[in-house]
A and B are shown apart, each in its own frame.
Chain A
Amino acid sequence: MLLNASGCLDALTAPETARMLDAFVTKTVTPLPRGGNDPIRIAETDVGMLNSIGLANPGIERFLAETLPFLRELGVPLWVSVGGFSAREYAETCARLEDVTIELNLSCPNVDEAPESAAEIVAACRAATGLPLYAKLSPAAWDIAEVARSVEAAGADGLSLVNTLRGMKLDDELRPVLATGSGGLSGPALKPVALAAVHACFRATALPIVGMGGVATGRDALELHASGARAAAIGTVLFSDPFAPDRIRQELSAELATLGLSSVEQACGIAHGETLPERKHLDVGSRLS
């Protein structure tokens, strides 16, 4: 299963790309509209790219009234990324949503964090909605497996691993390129970080995992699956190639065939090299059309 990473695709400007995915994940929605951070917002580095968009979004009211109806017309299952600046904000936004999967953005490196822990936010959202809840975690946590266990205990249905890591680039005059100084590092540099996080959380919890971080080829997706991801999501690669989902799918099929595997499920967790207990099922939602 292939998804996009939140904030890396606008399904309304690139509907064909969104329709190549098994589910479309929205840019993070917050209770109030946000213009986002001042430019410069993005920078390429030698090992990845930095972004500091700052959760630009129209706010939940306009999202529900003006964006969601058009997203529904895509005929692709929808995941709504939810953000906030307190557990209550997250929960109130979750309560407004219907017939979607929710991904809780618990780890944006470009805005102030909510004061509560990831588990407290998940618990508040669990109380507010019966919809599937995926917790998107930061790989910057000292022990991401411990965070994963805590959000599982708080009622999360799955994990999205990983968000970007905070990084910085300096210009020729040795000043930060991004207006906010630092931003989220994504792309190839993030892949080993994502593999380690998926690997650790797969062993620590029974939750299904959407793996993401530096996936640009079918081989990259295969490695995330092998580490324990049931689904893979692509982000930065979409910026250079809006047709990447089809290509990565084809490459993944070829990789699986080479290994004599008939499905992604068979590849899931093989990096662990031992028989593991039955996992919870990941359902991205059925196609609406």
Chain B
Amino acid sequence: MRRERRTVTSRQRLQVVATECVGPYTLLRVERGRLDPGIPGQFFMLEAPGRLLPRPMSLCLAPAGELAFLIDPIGPGTQALAALETGDSIHVLGPLGNGFRLDVGRPLLVGGGIGIAPLPYLAAALNGPRLVVGFRSEWHAEAAAILPDHAEVVVDPILVTELIEPGFDVLACGPEPMLEAVRAQYPRAQLAWEAPMACGYGACYGCAVEIGGEWKRLCVEGPVLSAAA
């Protein structure tokens, strides 16, 4: 049965506290306002100035009184977000979707490229988990600065999946080929997926993915899914 499954929490106009360059990415820090930072792996819809649709971003860090998001400026929306300046304000909706389950014994956090975005907040919620992350270039790898010091970093052509050892509970976020590779090895892994979405709260059906032979909305059922799903 399709019971009510409330997704919309809170939407507020928040002021930009600061923006910081980390390699090719921008760490966008906004005031927290009344918004709940949510569970690691959950996401927020960020108003992209001058664009029609907001952009989904998982929470990267939750410093006191702030929410921070890692932006990869690859299109007009993310470029508008990366161009924000201290004192500007944007509407933020969230937290949305399902985050990572934190009841894991031996967590191993795996990230690829901009997929490292939710890992700092996730690492803070777990007790000093092992982290392995991969990037396509040394420049991109500068983003590892936002991760705990003990994170292991590899750069293309070495693949991050080569660092995964058996016996861990894998929590991963990254490009689709990386997630598929993790899924093939670790059916119990938790994977954070990405899809184009207009709304983030189940209204547009744009982010539908096929799970168990049925199309499901990633924003409502995910973005974190069990690898076995």
Interfacial residues, chain A to chain B (CB-CB below 8 A): 7-10, 12-17, 27, 35-36, 39-44, 48-49, 51, 53, 56, 66-67, 69-70, 73, 187-188, 236, 238-243
Contact = CB atoms under 8 A, between A and B. Distances in A.
Contacts of A53: 204-206, 208
Contacts of A67: 2
A40 B7 contact: no
B91 to A, nearest CB: 7
A42 B200 CA distance: 13
Interface of B: 1-8, 11, 45, 47, 51-54, 76-77, 91, 93, 195-199, 201-210, 214-215, 220
Contact of B8 (A16, A42, A188): A16
Given A13-B203, A51-B206, 8 more contacts: A8-B204, A14-B8, A42-B206, A53-B208, A66-B2, A67-B2, A239-B199, A242-B8
A242 B215 contact: no
Contacts of B1: 66, 69-70
B91 A42 contact: no
B8 A239 contact: no
Nearest to B198: A239
Nearest to A58: B2
Given A8-B203, A66-B1, A14 B196 contact: no
A84 B108 CA distance: 49
A240 B206 CA distance: 13
Contact of B205 (A56, A69, A73): A56
A36 B2 contact: no
B205 A240 contact: no
Contacts of B11: 241-243
A14 B3 contact: no
A280 to B, nearest CB: 31
Contacts of A188: 52
7 contacts: A13-B201, A35-B208, A39-B195, A42-B204, A51-B204, A240-B198, A242-B199
B4 A12 contact: yes
Given A43-B196, A239-B198, A13 B220 contact: yes
A59 B50 CA distance: 38
A66 B5 CA distance: 14
